[in-house]
């Protein structure tokens, strides 16, 4: 993980990078986000907690003396680095508030959205450091029998990390069978743009339109399982239904604040009501907590 931390420093202004290089090995190993906010202290998300960075590279849970404050120039230079000096090349991503980075990580970008839907006057950057943790999906793998699953949890609860490891394990035959998995990778986060291990029987399609990607996979790759991150649109739901009709299982994730919201969001409610999702893995708001696995019937009995 420390290697991934260092690999993300290409996108940070040199002044801030010099300080971040002074962080302790433990902090580097566990840093999940580097947060730049104009006029405010340089902050990190470390093991789910916010910490602030001092000029000497030490960290504190509270703002105090000797904090590093992020300037407008720091933001401008960091943004240029992250875009490789070509914001135009990332214009479509920026309309959705992010930039895809070199190893499949992602930087969230806040500022002012103009009348054309373009991001300008950048004031906040959140550099997320994608994590590849082998074995984190062991509990799901031990319960996996080739059926469709939904992995649901709050933001930053580890959904993508767990999905990535689940794909790797079922592709490599961890459950007694190697499944042909088609991964629809809309932002390069699952595959790490080729750097992550997704198993020996996995095919990756990098495409922004996940609904179209599912359709292409069904027509061309003869998968047993289709996996993608963050189901969120009716179009994606329709393609998932086509997968079910073709006898192909689907594994996907969904953002929810808590498990009661799974029936409040139209797409996830209809996905579950299809009857094809056999198991749901519910993640806690706190990254690394125990994964709760339940059937649709068990979830319905709890809320209806």
Q: Which residues contact 57 (CB under 8 A, 6 or more apart)?
A: 19, 20, 21, 22, 23, 24
* pLDDT bracket for residue 175 (50, 70, 90): confident
Q: Answer whether residue 276 shows pLDDT above 80.
A: yes
End-to-end distance of the chain based on CA atoms, in angstroms?
A: 42
DSSP 134: T
CA–CA separation, 15 and 279 (whole Å)? 48
**The domain containing residue 293 runs over which residues?**
138-303
DSSP 101: -
In a domain, 133, yes or no: no
Contact 227, 250 (CB under 8 A): yes
CATH code for the domain of 66 = 3.30.450
In a domain, 196, yes or no: yes
Sheet holding 292-294, edge to edge: 202-206, 181-185, 225-228, 249-255, 148-153, 277-282, 292-294
Query: HSE of 6 in the Cβ direction (CA atoms, 13 Å)?
Result: 7
Chain segment 10-61, per-residue pLDDT in tens: 999 999 999 999 999 999 988 989 999 999 999 999 877 899 999 999 999 9
Q: Of 97, 128, 159, which residue sits at a domain end?
A: 128
* pLDDT bracket for residue 224 (50, 70, 90): very high
Give the pLDDT score at 187: 82
- Are 118 and 166 in the same domain? no
Report residue 181: phi and psi, to 5°: -115, 130
Angle at 9 between CA 6 and CA 14, to 5 degrees: 130
Percent of the chain surpassing pLDDT 90: 63
In a domain, 48, yes or no: yes
In a domain, 114, yes or no: yes
- Are 148 and 261 in the same domain? yes
- Are 269 and 188 in the same domain? yes
0.85 exceeded by pTM: no
In a domain, 232, yes or no: yes
- Are 155 and 176 in the same domain? yes
- Are 60 and 162 in the same domain? no
- Are 277 and 167 in the same domain? yes
Chain segment 69-105, per-residue pLDDT in tens: 999 999 999 999 998 888 888 888 888 888 888 766 7
Give the pLDDT score at 180: 97
Q: Answer whether residue 304 shows pLDDT above 90.
A: no
* pLDDT bracket for residue 144 (50, 70, 90): very high
* pLDDT bracket for residue 296 (50, 70, 90): confident
* pLDDT bracket for residue 204 (50, 70, 90): very high
**Tokens read off for 289:** 């907590």
- Are 211 and 274 in the same domain? yes
- Are 158 and 231 in the same domain? yes
Contact 267, 232 (CB under 8 A): yes
Q: Of 80, 106, 128, which residue sits at a domain end?
A: 128
In a domain, 113, yes or no: yes
- Are 97 and 178 in the same domain? no
Q: Answer whether residue 2 shows pLDDT above 80.
A: no
In a domain, 231, yes or no: yes
CATH code for the domain of 229 = 3.40.50.300
What is the total count of domains within the chain?
2
- Are 272 and 157 in the same domain? yes
Contact 248, 118 (CB under 8 A): no
Q: Which residue has the higher pLDDT, 219 or 90?
A: 219
In this predicted structure, which of 118-122, 169-173, 244-248 has the lowest mean pLDDT?
A: 118-122
What is the average per-residue pLDDT within 118-139? Answer: 88
* pLDDT bracket for residue 303 (50, 70, 90): low
- Are 172 and 73 in the same domain? no
Q: Which residue has the higher pLDDT, 284 or 249?
A: 249
In three state form, how does the secondary structure of 202-232 look?
A: EEEEECCCHHHHHHHHHHHCCCCEEEECCCC
- Are 257 and 167 in the same domain? yes
Contact 25, 121 (CB under 8 A): no
């Amino acid at each position: 993980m420390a290697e991934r931390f260092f690999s993300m420093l290409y996108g940070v202004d040199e002044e801030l990078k010099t300080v971040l290089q002074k962080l302790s090995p433990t902090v580097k190993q566990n840093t999940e986000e580097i947060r730049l906010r104009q006029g405010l202290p340089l902050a990190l998300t470390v093991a789910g907690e916010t910490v602030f960075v001092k000029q000497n590279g030490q960290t504190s849970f509270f703002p105090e003396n000797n904090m590093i404050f992020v300037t407008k120039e720091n933001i401008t230079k960091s943004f240029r680095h992250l875009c490789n000096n070509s914001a135009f090349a990332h214009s479509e991503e920026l309309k959705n508030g992010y930039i895809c980075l070199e190893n499949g990580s992602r930087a969230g970008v806040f500022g002012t959205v103009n009348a054309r839907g373009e991001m300008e006057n950048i004031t906040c950057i959140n550099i997320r450091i994608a994590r590849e943790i082998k074995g984190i999906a062991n509990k799901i793998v031990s319960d996996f029998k080739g059926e469709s699953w939904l992995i649901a949890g709050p933001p930053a609860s580890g959904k993508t990390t767990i999905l990535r490891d689940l794909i790797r394990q079922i592709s490599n035959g961890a459950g007694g069978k190697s499944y042909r998995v088609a991964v629809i990778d809309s932002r390069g986060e699952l595959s790490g743009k080729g750097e992550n291990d997704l198993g020996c029987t996995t095919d990756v399609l990098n495409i922004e339109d996940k609904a179209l990607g599912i359709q292409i996979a069904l027509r061309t790759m003869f998968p047993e399982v289709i996996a993608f991150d963050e189901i969120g649109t009716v179009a994606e739901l329709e393609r998932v239904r086509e997968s079910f009709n073709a006898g192909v299982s689907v594994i996907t994730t969904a953002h929810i604040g808590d498990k009661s919201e799974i029936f409040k969001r139209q797409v996830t409610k209809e996905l579950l009501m299809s009857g094809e999702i056999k198991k749901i893995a519910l993640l806690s708001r706190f990254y690394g907590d125990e994964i709760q696995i339940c059937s649709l019937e068990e979830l319905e009995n709890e809320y209806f």
